[in-house]
Amino acid sequence: METMNIVVLIKQVPDTWSERKLTDTDHTLDRDAADAVIDEINERAVEEALLLKEAHGGKVTVVSMGPDRATDAIRKALSMGADEAVHISDAALHGSDTIQTAKVLASAIRTIEGVDLVVAGNEATDGRAGAIPAMLAELLGLPQLTHARRVEVEGTEVRVERETEDGITHLAAELPAVVSVGEKINEPRYPSFKGIMAAKKKPVTTLGLGDLGIDPSEVGLAAAFTSVVESAPKPPRGAGERVEDQGDGGVRIVEYLAAQKLV
């Protein structure tokens, strides 16, 4: 293969350092409650895509589905060095579940010609389904090499070290393929000033559902295959007893644990 045509998926999520909330009305994410940032694992996905591009030549296209303000996350990826972006934005997508999200992302990826590799984060910090990359492989009919801690491309073959709670699994497949990366894959680069300036001029194509040939009635909260019956914030955990260690801290803990029948 001469050069690589890489698609990298990114998602804007509520910052895990801020208080995250669900809305009272329809139990969807309260996007105004928390700061919105590019999900950290996506920065690693972008980094891995850029490393592959630097090694093999080619192009990195960012694909993101989300409301208008997701452009901030997209710009971040472009300022790191991605070449262009596709932003899927449509009011009808509000409240879509993972099934609908995977279908919309697959449609958008199909609009990009000659894709060799789709790179994604293994699991978003908000939904934590951890299955979108596998679901894209299912929809696109591509091999899935997910939860990678190491990715290698040689010729037309991609090899991955998959790391999960089961241990390490070595995987190999022919391109095109879907890869998802885990925490240990790399350290993402910081955008340079030059990168930030250049990102402003990089092309971002905005696609609505009409552009993807998707009927708005097939997506969104009303068409989701699952529904939330109720949601409630857990009552905050109160602070219990706190003591200063007077040389008997360990003993005091054991006494507490014994009273709770924990030892």
Q: Which residues pair with 163 in a beta bridge?
A: 168
Listed residue (122, 120, 127) closest to 182, CA to CA: 122
> How near is the Cβ of 90 to another protein at its closest, in Å?
21
> How near is the Cβ of 106 to another protein at its closest, in Å?
10
Q: Return phi, psi of residue 227, to 5°.
A: -140, 145
> How near is the Cβ of 56 to another protein at its closest, in Å?
20
Distances (CA, A) of 153 to 1, 25, 119, 174: 10, 47, 13, 10
By C-beta, is 182 or 191 nearer to another protein?
182
Say if CB 144 and CB 137 are below 8 A apart. yes
> How near is the Cβ of 91 to another protein at its closest, in Å?
22
By C-beta, is 71 or 144 nearer to another protein?
144
By C-beta, is 1 or 22 nearer to another protein?
22
Listed residue (93, 135, 97, 98) closest to 118, CA to CA: 135
Q: Which residues pair with 65 in a beta bridge?
A: 88
By C-beta, is 91 or 254 nearer to another protein?
254
